[in-house]
Amino acid sequence: MTSLAWAKRLPWTMLAAVVSLTCLGWLAIARYGDLAGLGGTMLPRQIIWSLLALAAMLGVTIPNYRVACRWSYVLFLMSLALLVAVYFFPPVNNARRWIRFGPVGLQPSEFAKIAYILALARYLMYRENHRHFGGLLLPLALTLLPVALILREPDLGTALIFLPVFFAVLFTAGSRWRDLLGLALVGVIALPALWIGMSREQQSRVTALFAQAGPTDAPDDDTYQLRQAKQMLALGGTWGSLLTGQTVEDPVAYRLPEAQTDFVFCVIGERLGLWGIACTLGLFAILIWRGLAIAAASREPFGRLVATGVTAMLAVEVLINTGMTVGLLPTTGLSLPLVSYGGSGLLAHAIMLGFVLNVGMRPGYEMAGEPFRYA
């Protein structure tokens, strides 16, 4: 493919939404640096990671995505090995999620998302057995392997997003509704076991959802972060402190743990107000809409399933992150894609979206006829 043909085929609307969300992240990270008294130390790092992520995303679009199909199982096994390797590194905040090479840290669970989607798409691309309940067991085992390893880190938020992606990809591949509902029922029955296996801190995040502190109430340790998150959003009002210049003198009002990562959405609300929140959600809506459109237009099964998996994962992450910041969902420690501070998450999401762009540039390729004929 020539450079001109590559540029014409590139889904520019999707690329523009990615760049815009990344820039919103820069604005929020800069604001957090000011509020936390960190100066300008965080923003330059994020800009460097953003440029690397953009280069990686565009680089993924150059070769045909079918190359990833041939290497999908190898990449999946490598991701499992990295998820095991985290236990040989010192814990950070009582969690083993990182592999560190000097000052650079790698979070394997972020890259396991990519490998999982590729492996699941390859397994389901032409098989018929997943259209019966018994045939779902192997794809389920493929899903539970990374989920179990990530739960042990522990990282409940990241582990849980694999399950909606699993159902979305299975549905797209042609699994029957009754089989998927049967699996969902098994998951509901297993919820008490999941609750028992959760740590005290994880359980407190769920119970805090039903005991939220009001504006005049003194929050306890479990409800403090959620109350501060809602207060930060309220401080932005309609137009945000960037346009109005209005701030409060009490520095405690701006004190929000993990504001640069898990609660970066609140910083956007404080800085840009309601219109900034609407723009952020609108940009994510564009990404999800274009991802679904690319999946629907693809006539090649592997590409269609990969685009579906990536889009579903993005949608679930946005829903969980924004839902927890306003008190509609439990706090799970899940960052906002493309916006939150951190190199591993930014790079991993850029690569995932690069695959979607790649599929969108090659929608007409078929490996076999009628790949999605329903039984």
Give me 179's structure tokens.
């089989």
Say if CB 306 and CB 117 are below 8 A apart: yes
User: What's the mean pLDDT in 279-306?
Assistant: 94
The string of pLDDT tens digits covering residues 309-358 is 999 999 999 999 999 888 888 887 789 999 999 888 999 999 999 999 99
Which helix (H) or strand (E) is 105 found in, with range? Answer: strand 104-106
Say if CB 337 and CB 50 are below 8 A apart: no
Cβ neighbours for 75, distance < 8 A, ≥ 6 positions apart: 68, 114, 115, 118, 119
> By three-state DSSP, how is residue 104 classified?
strand
Question: For residues 372 and 194, which has the higher predicted lDDT (pLDDT)?
Answer: 194
| Averaged pLDDT score across all residues of the chain | 85
Rg from Cα positions in the chain: 21
pLDDT at 375: 34
- Where are the chain's structural domains? 9-361
Is 0.95 surpassed by the pTM of this model? Answer: no
